[in-house]
Amino acid sequence: MPQTVLIVDDHPSFRSTAKILLESEGFDVIGEATDGASAIEAIHRLGPEVVLLDVQLPDMDGFAVARAVMANGTKSAIVLTSSRDGADFGSLVFESGARGFVPKGELSGEAITALLR
Amino acid sequence: MTPRIRLALWVTGTVAGLFSAIVVASSDRTSHPVLTGVLIAVVGWAFIVGGLIALERRPDNRFGLLMAAEGFAWFAATLGASDEAWVFSVGYLMSSLYLAVLGHTILAYPTGRLQDRASRTIVTGAYLITTLGTLFVVLLARPADLHCTNCPENRLIAFHSPGGAQALNILLNSVGLVLCVAAVVLLARRWRAATPAARHLLAPVLGTGAVVIAALGVQTALQLAFDLPMAQLTTNLIFGLIPLGFMFGLLRSGLARSSAVGGLIQDIGRSSGSPEAIRAALGATLNDPGLSVAYWIPEKEQFVDADGVPVFDPAPGSRRTTTAVEYHGAVVARLEHDIALADDPDLLQAACAAAGLALANARLTTELRARLKELGASERRWRELLEGVNLIAVSLDLEGRIQYANPFLAELTGWERDELIGRDWLETFNPEEREYLERMRRADVLAYEENFVTTRTGERRTIAWSNTVLRDADGSVVGATSIGADITDRRTAERALRALLVEHTALERVARLVAEGRSRHIVFERVTEEAGRLLSAASCNLVRFRDDGTGLVFGGWGEPGANPILAGSVVALDDDSTAARVHDQAGPVRVDSYAELEGDLAQRVRETGIRSAIGAPIMVGGSMWGALVAFSLEEGSFPDGAEHRLAAFAGLVGLAIANADAREQLAASRARIVAAGDAERRRLERNLHDGAQQRLVSLSLALRLARSQLKKDPATAEDTLAAASDELNLALAELRDLARGIHPAVLSDRGLRPALEGLTLRMNESGLDVEVEDLLDQRLPEQVEVAAYYVVAESLANVTKYAAADRVSVRVMRENGRAVVEVQDDGRGGADPGRGSGLRGLLDRIEALDGRLSIQSPPGGGTTIRAEIPCA
């Protein structure tokens, strides 16, 4: 049973490429969101097992989104991503309640699976 | 001439006279032998004796010699009476020489020398005809040819020619007649030209001479006319007159001298002995009415006249000369007289000797007169000086009464000069000077002192005095004289100068604060204190004029005890006050009495004790920022012009504010530039992150995907790679745009024109109609090109974003050393540089290059952005 994924990023090219990549590796991309507000709504509505959440969003940052959905008691595992290096963010990732961070250039099904274990 | 020669002459003359008398008396042709012989001898001797006496007395005068020579010539001529042939012949040859010598003697009188050319010509002619002429006659004639029938033989005859001899004789007589006439004319002229003194001297000799020459002329004329021989007796008698005349002249001269000197002594004795009486007596004695006397003043080493006026030597050629008069071996005077008197030095010397004592006395009188005259002149000069100078000159007696006051004192103090004489100085001018009188009495006045005089109108004038005591002949102090300079104006000027110096120093202190860029607060505090103290104000405040018609009082300075206007008070500028008046009049004002002002505010000010004030506007950037106001607790206490002096401080306040404003603007501009730079970097980071970086991330993912697809699904992998390639192109394009946004490379490589052409081309491609009307071909300084590019780029970006314009025109020109960039659109207008950062950034960028940016953007009327950047 493939795991369900929600991709949250404001860049269409990343969303489409990540969708093809994850699906080719057996994930089921069940939705996409382009900003923080629609992401919270989609997580609540779709209840994905994994949320691939970009750190930089037009209306709020990914940490705030993570904190918001974690506060709502979500069961989705949140994986933060960014084109920047994870070291830039330090402890913000775990403090936000996210499962982990994958740089966009290193995104793969394996990397996500490893974080979920 | 030695005495021995003179003795020889005496002896020779005696012998010659005796010889002649014997020759004549023994002659057969002599009608009265004894009488004629005696007569001949007496006439000759008279000449010789007269001449030798004259020679004894005046050895340097040749006249005596000539007279003696005439006597000898006379005796030589008498040899012609001899019956012996050889003696007769010699006498015949010498028969007329005595006539030439006689003419010579008369014409040379009285000096013995022929003074002029005419007399020399006549005498030379006479000698020629009586020597050479007679010689030729003697060589040609026998005595019978010339009417001497019983004369002895002429032993000297060479060629007998009776006709020639007679003709020559007539010729010689004729020439002789002409010479006689010429001599008479010459003597007459001399007489006419002679001064009285000279005539007195000439009269006896010239008179006799003239008569004799005239008689000879008549006789010669008779001989010529009727061929009559000369009557020997007549001739003898006529000639007998001549030495008598000469002797008479000499005798008269001596007698005259004695009587003249005697008369002179008598005249002087009878006269007052005054210089004028002595001069008149001398003039009369010496027959020279024009004679003048000058007296020797040894101290001055100068001759002066009877009035003490210096006299100088007579001009050369003026026919006047001088003779010094000595008394007891010292020169006492000098006579200036007719030059002819010098020919009778004996008379002159006798007169001088006779008048010596009187002249010595008169000299003393004259010297005294000269001294008095000089003293009078000196006093007059001093008096005139004191009368004319712009200095006070005053003399006081021991009681302090004014003895002398010059016009300047009267003019200065408003008194009439006549009123001042005799007035009490202390009462009139300065009651505080009692010590001066005491010092004067002790002969201990201060050489220099300063005090004052009070004028009639009550004004006090400061006077610098130089004092000296006056003493009488015994040396007792009789008063004091003072010379005073009115130095009131000088002292006032000095005070003004000192005040000016103090003011300048105060201004300089404030100016230094301003120049050092101290805060407004410090400058305001110091300005109010410096101005307040300088102008002796009780307090001084700054008032800031506000747009709502009120003034805000800033903290100021106040003397301890003064009740200053409270800082933070707000005054309405339509209520009458000093600040309000400055606001209305836009210039310095003074309020000499707050009682003049009406209204609540004036009342409140009066309640603080303020009675007068001055104010001056503070101008910043050409507009009135506020006012500097100084207050006093007394009415009218500020001196004239104090408000203008306050204005100088207000000017410094304006400068300080303008400086502070400029500094603030500069700081703000710098902050904006830094902020703009930060914003620009953020934008770049964002653009990179959102654009090229995302595409490269996607590309990386796509390539990884393609690799995984390559084996199991090559067709899909190919699609993925094709999409990745497109993504890469887009990333490259975005990076290019981004780089161009940072700095268009073409601008630095090829210049403004290609860069702007590329920019407008891209705009045109994006659908905006941009028309380039003017572009410069030449390169400009790099900073200017960059600024011009951004003006166009930012303006076009704004047009795209906000203006909704149909057309845009771009122009880049060069005018008067400035690059002018103008971007004009026909959009909706209403652009405001205060709102967005883009135009504000442009403004900072242009101002940093000392340029100007103007934005005209009326709502609905399009927008024109014009930048002018210096690029000389």
CATH number of the domain that B129 lies in? 1.20.1070
What letter would DSSP give residue A108? -
**Domain final residue, candidates B206, B223, B255:** B255
Residues 6+ apart with CB under 8 A from B301: none
Query: For residue B226, is pLDDT > 70?
Result: no
Residue B267 belongs to a domain: no
Q: Does the CB of A13 have a partner CB in chain B at under 8 Å?
A: yes
**Do B701 and A24 lie within an 8 Å CB cutoff?**
no
Taking a contact as any Cβ pair under 8 Å apart, which residues of chain A between 49 and 78 contact chain B?
56
Distance, in Å, from the CA atom of B766 to the CA atom of A94, rounded to the nearest integer, reads 46
Residue B40 and residue B117 in one domain: yes
Residue B60 and residue B169 in one domain: yes
Residue B350 and residue B396 in one domain: no
Residue B447 and residue B526 in one domain: no
Domains and CATH numbers, chain A: 4-99 (3.40.50.2300)
- Helices marked H in chain A — which ranges? 12-24, 36-46, 62-71, 92-95, 109-116
Residue with tokens 């697809």, as numbered in its chain: B709
pLDDT band at B184 (very low <50, low <70, confident <90, very high): confident
CA distances to B21, B482, B487 from B415, rounded to whole Å, are 105, 18, 19
pLDDT band at B259 (very low <50, low <70, confident <90, very high): low
Q: Out of B693, B701, B709, whose CB is closest to A17?
A: B701
Q: Out of A16, A20, A83, whose CB is closest to B697?
A: A83
CB B97 within 8 A of CB B130: yes
Number of residues that this document lists for chain A = 117
Which segment of B55-59, B239-243, B347-351, B405-409 scores lowest on mean pLDDT? B239-243
Output the CA angle B542-B548-B554, nearest 5 degrees: 15
B25: its two tokens: 């008396």
B733: its two tokens: 């394009």
Structural domain for B329, as ranges:
275-381
Task: Kindly state the percentage of chain B with pLDDT values over 90.
Answer: 18
Q: Does the CB of B585 have a partner CB in chain A at under 8 Å?
A: no
Distance from CA of B707 to the nearest CA of A (A): 11
- Chain B residue numbers with beta carbons less than 8 Å from the beta carbon of A17 are 698, 701-702, 705
First to last CA, chain A: 16
Of residues A53 and B388, which shows the higher confidence score?
A: A53
Q: Does the CB of A113 have a partner CB in chain B at under 8 Å?
A: no
- Helices marked H in B271-344 — which ranges? 275-285
CB contacts < 8 Å between A and B, how many? 39
Tell me the β-bridge partners of B870. B818
Distance from CA of A73 to the nearest CA of B (A): 31
Give me the phi and psi of B330, to 5 degrees please: -115, 140
Is the bond into A12 cis (omega within 30 degrees of 0)? no
Residue B8 and residue B109 in one domain: yes
Query: For residue B234, is pLDDT > 70?
Result: no
Closest residue by Cα to residue B401 from B378, B372, B429, B373: B429
**Domain final residue, candidates B455, B486, B517:** B486
Residue B497 belongs to a domain: no
Query: For residue B113, is pLDDT > 60?
Result: yes
SS3 B448: strand
Residue B115 belongs to a domain: yes
Q: What is the mean pLDDT of chain B?
A: 84
Q: Residue B594: is it exposed, middle or buried by C-beta count within 10 angstroms (0-12/13-18/19+)?
A: buried
Closest residue by Cα to residue A65 from A94, A91, A96, A95: A96
Residue B464 and residue B608 in one domain: no
Q: Quick one: pLDDT at residue B435?
A: 84
Q: What is the mean pLDDT of residues B647-653?
A: 87
Residue B450, H or E segment? strand B448-454
pLDDT digits (tens, 9 = 90+) for B62-102: 888 888 898 999 889 888 888 888 888 888 888 889 889 98
Residue B17 and residue B99 in one domain: yes
Q: Quick one: pLDDT at residue B121?
A: 93
Which of A13, A27, A82, A84 is the best mutation test for B, with the most CBs of B within 10 A? A13
**Do B697 and A14 lie within an 8 Å CB cutoff?**
yes
Residue B476 belongs to a domain: yes
Residue B69 belongs to a domain: yes
pLDDT band at B253 (very low <50, low <70, confident <90, very high): low
Residue B345 belongs to a domain: yes
pLDDT digits (tens, 9 = 90+) for B573-607: 888 889 999 999 999 999 999 888 888 888 888 88
Residue B528 and residue B630 in one domain: yes
CB B137 within 8 A of CB B162: no
Residue B433 and residue B348 in one domain: no
According to DSSP, the β-strands at A50-54 and B769-774 are: unpaired
Q: Quick one: pLDDT at residue B693?
A: 85
B735-741: list long-range contacts, CB under 8 Å, 24+ apart.
B735/B691, B735/B692, B738/B684, B738/B687, B738/B688, B738/B691, B738/B692, B741/B684, B741/B687
Residues 6+ apart with CB under 8 A from A84: A55, A103, B689
Residue B16 and residue B61 in one domain: yes
Residue B738 and residue B751 in one domain: no
Question: What is the tally of structural domains in chain B?
Answer: 5
Q: Does the CB of B700 have a partner CB in chain A at under 8 Å?
A: yes
Closest residue by Cα to residue B318 from B343, B295, B338: B338
pLDDT digits (tens, 9 = 90+) for B170-183: 898 899 889 988 98
Distance from CA of A59 to the nearest CA of B (A): 14
Tell me the β-bridge partners of B392. B484
Nearest CA in chain A to B708: A24
- Identify the CATH number of the domain in which residue B443 sits: 3.30.450.20
Distance, in Å, from the CA atom of B737 to the CA atom of B752, rounded to the nearest integer, reads 18
**Do A13 and B700 lie within an 8 Å CB cutoff?**
no
- Identify the CATH number of the domain in which residue B687 sits: 3.30.450.40
Residues 6+ apart with CB under 8 A from B61: B54, B55, B110, B111, B112
Number of residues that this document lists for chain B = 872
pLDDT digits (tens, 9 = 90+) for B558-580: 888 766 667 778 888 888 889 99
Residue with tokens 């969708």, as numbered in its chain: A19
Residues 6+ apart with CB under 8 A from B621: B658, B661
Query: For residue B255, is pLDDT > 60?
Result: no
CB B844 within 8 A of CB B828: no
pLDDT digits (tens, 9 = 90+) for B815-849: 888 999 999 999 998 888 777 667 888 888 888 88
Residue B262 belongs to a domain: no
A99: its two tokens: 């499962």
Q: Quick one: pLDDT at residue B581?
A: 92
- Chain A residue numbers with beta carbons less than 8 Å from the beta carbon of B720 are 20
Distance, in Å, from the CA atom of B400 to the CA atom of B814, rounded to the nearest integer, reads 89
According to DSSP, the β-strands at A4-8 and A28-33 are: parallel
Residue B591 belongs to a domain: yes
- Identify the CATH number of the domain in which residue B820 sits: 3.30.565.10
Distance, in Å, from the CA atom of B684 to the CA atom of B676, rounded to the nearest integer, reads 12
Residue B398 and residue B325 in one domain: no
pLDDT band at B228 (very low <50, low <70, confident <90, very high): low
Tell me the β-bridge partners of B481. B395, B468
Query: For residue B126, is pLDDT > 90?
Result: yes
Which segment of B252-266, B616-630, B680-694 scores lowest on mean pLDDT? B252-266
Distance, in Å, from the CA atom of B143 to the CA atom of B768, rounded to the nearest integer, reads 165
**Domain final residue, candidates B362, B381, B400:** B381
- Chain A residue numbers with beta carbons less than 8 Å from the beta carbon of B687 are none
pLDDT digits (tens, 9 = 90+) for A40-62: 999 999 999 999 999 989 899 99
Prediction pTM value: 0.43
Q: Quick one: pLDDT at residue B571?
A: 84
Tell me the β-bridge partners of A4. A28
**Do B709 and A24 lie within an 8 Å CB cutoff?**
yes
Q: Does the CB of B725 have a partner CB in chain A at under 8 Å?
A: no
Quickly count: other Cβ atoms within 10 Å of residue A87's Cβ: 8
